[in-house]
Amino acid sequence: MARFAPMLALAAGLMTAAPLPAQDVQFRLTTEDAGLRGTLRLASLTAELAAEGTGTPQDIVAAAQADYRRMLTGLYAEGYYGGAVSILIDGREAAGLAPLDAPATIGSVEIRVTPGPRFRFGQAEIGPLAPGTTLPEGFRPGAVARSDMARAAAIAAVDGWRDAGHAKATPDSQDITAVHAENRLDVSIGIDPGPRLTFGPLIPSGNVAVRSERIVEIAGLPEGTVFSPEEVSLAAQRLRRTGAFSAVTLTEAENYTADYSLPITAQLAEEKPRRFGFGLEYSTVEGLGLSGYWMHRNLFGGAENLRVEADISGLGGETGGTDYRLSADFRRPGTLHPDNDLLIGASIERLDEPDFFLDQIALEAGFARRVSAQRTASGAIGFVAATVEDDLGSRSYQLLTLPLTGTEDRRDDPLDPASGFYLSLDITPFLGFGDAGSGARIYADGRAYRSFGADDRVTLAFRGQLGSVLGTGLSDSPSDYLFYSGGGDTVRGQPYQSLAIDLGGGNEIGGLSFAAASVEARVSVTDRIGLVGFYDAGFVGDTATPFDSGDWHAGAGVGIRYNTGLGPIRVDLATPVTGPDAGDSLSFYVGIGQAF
């Protein structure tokens, strides 16, 4: 048993050794270069272990020995090529310690760096370059000779040739000389562009349920055209957007063919085809809203998406009654063009609103086009059949519609934006039959976000809405095309759809024009908790021209946000700030995601 005593003692030492406090790792530099100090601290494994507080003495010794090379790399990154590094663990040079012979405890680590003189580029040459190639500004004679600049220049040169169709461009030679007597670094890098290549076939791999020919059609990689990295990226994005794949990687073949074409392999992992989910929102005015959906991501084996959704809202609220909606939406990506989606939708709904009761069925078919990563446009042909009861009486009508939509979305995060903007414009011409006239409905929505302060913890958010119904009057406009204000999506604190057009005798109807404005100040208190203050205002008019003839109302309040990682849970408390009930009532709103 005695022969195991040293091993037991070593194990006990390993279990009881205290981690090294972060403040006991000291950097000693013979220069006041703050940028260099920061670079070296970030490069140090020893400092990282000490900051985490998890390193054993054996870990600290191993990290310190690795730091010799990391400190030199940091020196090169800042233009110092004649430096010296000494790392002392409790006064002993770390390079002379064996990790298994590390002391039971470590009191301090001192990293001493003598950078020496800073070097500058003497010769800074790279070539040949493709036309239009832009090299980093820091890669030029006389600039600080940061090692990363030479690497960045090589990457820029290769990327320039790849953008010109030379997919196999690569650095083929380099001559780097440090002239210590003159504190100069001479760099010469040669680039081999290789031949100009065209796209070969796209070869799907890993797909089981999604047909290969549909993958090729959706990706839209232009076989036979000159190679372009941008086209490869776009093809991968198109496949990801289908939702049918959990992972998409496009890989260039190692070698090109005899006809100078380059095959591309699409390595795919398929998502589970079926998915379901649910959501809820609540406010004291609008009541409880419940929604659920079922979705199939690959209905016919071509990444077609079918989504069936049911919504119930107004439960226990003050919005007239309970609303019901059942819808089915079909989407076929890559139809007629890789960036086109075929859309077919059908819905049936009942709206029991304060000023009207509507039963409606709607059918729609059209295309959505992704113009760019941030811009989309869509157009469709629709049919609507409805019966409505409002303060003007009972009516039945049918509509042929031509809904057109354009969207520009440059938000950094759609669920919790902190910067960027969002613009949407809907134009729906309609031809009415029965008790409806003919005209067009226009609705625009704009949002902007700006963050500032320490770590951008304060975000100002702005929203503006504008709408108009053209060509019809109040009596022959479709009831759900008219505008109201009040409630969670327009003016919080004001009763739901409380601002409308007064017909006299206690009768009301929606307006022909609408405007709304909202501003929020969002403050992140912690990484999880945020506070919000907001002010909303809305306008409804009885003519098609906004602000021409109508009324305004406003509401304000405060809220709290809890960041789940997938999006914030929103809780808002608001009150009217205009009208006879200003400040006399409170409305409570709960939802997922920011208000806008």
pLDDT digits (tens, 9 = 90+) for 227-263: 999 999 999 999 999 999 999 999 999 999 999 999 9
Among 99-113, 403-417, 429-443, 510-524, the least confident range: 99-113
Q: Helix 229-241 and helix 147-163: axis angle, to 10°? A: 80
Among 8-17, 415-424, 527-536, the least confident range: 8-17
In the CATH hierarchy, which top-level class contains the domain 120-192? alpha beta
pLDDT for residue 122: 96
Question: Distance between CA atoms of 432 and 397, rounded to whole angstroms?
Answer: 7
Under the banding of pLDDT at 50, 70 and 90, the label for residue 534 is very high
More confident residue, 102 or 186: 186
The one-letter code for the residue type at 514 is F
pLDDT for residue 504: 86
Instruction: Kindly state the DSSP code that residue 66 receives in the 8-state scheme.
Output: H
Residue 241 φ then ψ, to 5°: -65, -20
8 A C-beta contact, residue 394 and residue 475: no
For the chain, how far is it from start to end, CA to CA, in angstroms? 71
Instruction: Kindly state the DSSP code that residue 480 receives in the 8-state scheme.
Output: G
Instruction: Kindly state the DSSP code that residue 508 receives in the 8-state scheme.
Output: E
8 A C-beta contact, residue 301 and residue 209: yes
pLDDT for residue 20: 56
pLDDT for residue 355: 84
Residues sharing a CB contact under 8 Å with residue 440, sequence separation 6 or more, in sequence order? 427, 428, 429, 430, 469, 470, 471
pLDDT for residue 7: 31
Report the half-sphere exposure of 153 (CA within 13 A, side-chain side): 25
Q: Helix 212-219 and helix 229-241: axis angle, to 10°? A: 120
Under the banding of pLDDT at 50, 70 and 90, the label for residue 56 is confident
With 70 as the cut, is the pLDDT of residue 3 above it? no
Residue 501 φ then ψ, to 5°: -95, 125
Equal fold, 120-192 vs 274-592: no
With 80 as the cut, is the pLDDT of residue 361 above it? yes
pLDDT for residue 19: 53
Q: Which helix (H) or strand (E) holds 539?
A: strand 529-541
Enumerate the domain spans of the chain: 2-114, 120-192, 198-270, 274-592
CA nearest 479: which of 326, 370, 357? 357
Question: Distance between CA atoms of 127 and 146, rounded to whole angstroms?
Answer: 19
pLDDT for residue 14: 36
Under the banding of pLDDT at 50, 70 and 90, the label for residue 562 is very high
pLDDT for residue 538: 97
Dihedral sign of CA atoms 496, 498, 504, 508 in order: negative
Alpha carbon 439 to chain centroid, angstroms: 37
Based on the number of CB atoms within 10 Å of its own CB, is 504 exposed (0-12), middle (13-18) or buried (19 or more)?
exposed
- Domain 198-270 belongs to what topology? Ubiquitin-like (UB roll) (3.10.20)
CA nearest 263: which of 252, 248, 273? 252
If one counts every other C-beta atom within 10 angstroms of the C-beta of residue 36, the result is 22
pLDDT for residue 506: 83
Under the banding of pLDDT at 50, 70 and 90, the label for residue 83 is very high
Among 54-58, 59-63, 470-474, the least confident range: 54-58
Q: Where are the strands (E) in 231-355, listed by range?
A: 245-252, 261-270, 274-283, 287-296, 305-315, 323-333, 340-352
Tokens 């760019």 sit on residue: 372
Residue 577 φ then ψ, to 5°: -120, 0
What is the per-residue pLDDT across 12-47, written as a single tens digit (0 to 9) for each?
333 344 555 544 789 999 988 889 999 999 999 999
8 A C-beta contact, residue 363 and residue 330: no
With 60 as the cut, is the pLDDT of residue 102 above it? yes
Residue 413 φ then ψ, to 5°: -155, 115
CA nearest 67: which of 46, 51, 52, 84? 46
Distances (CA, A) of 546 to 467, 513, 539, 549: 7, 5, 8, 8
Report CA dihedral (543, 545, 550, 553) to the nearest 10 degrees.
140
pLDDT for residue 9: 34
More confident residue, 158 or 105: 158
With 90 as the cut, is the pLDDT of residue 392 above it? no
pLDDT for residue 6: 35
The one-letter code for the residue type at 312 is I
Under the banding of pLDDT at 50, 70 and 90, the label for residue 5 is very low
CATH number corresponding to 274-592: 2.40.160.50
Range among 53-62, 278-287, 467-476, 586-595 with highest mean pLDDT value: 467-476
With 90 as the cut, is the pLDDT of residue 1 above it? no
Question: Distance between CA atoms of 41 and 141, rounded to whole angstroms?
Answer: 29
What is the average pLDDT across 304-308?
A: 98
Specify the pTM: 0.80
With 70 as the cut, is the pLDDT of residue 387 above it? yes
What is the average pLDDT across 443-468?
A: 95
List, in sequence order, every residue forming a beta bridge with 185; answer none if it has no partner.
Answer: 121, 178
Percentage of the chain beyond pLDDT 90 is: 78
With 70 as the cut, is the pLDDT of residue 481 above it? yes
Write down the mean pLDDT value for the chain.
92
pLDDT for residue 444: 98
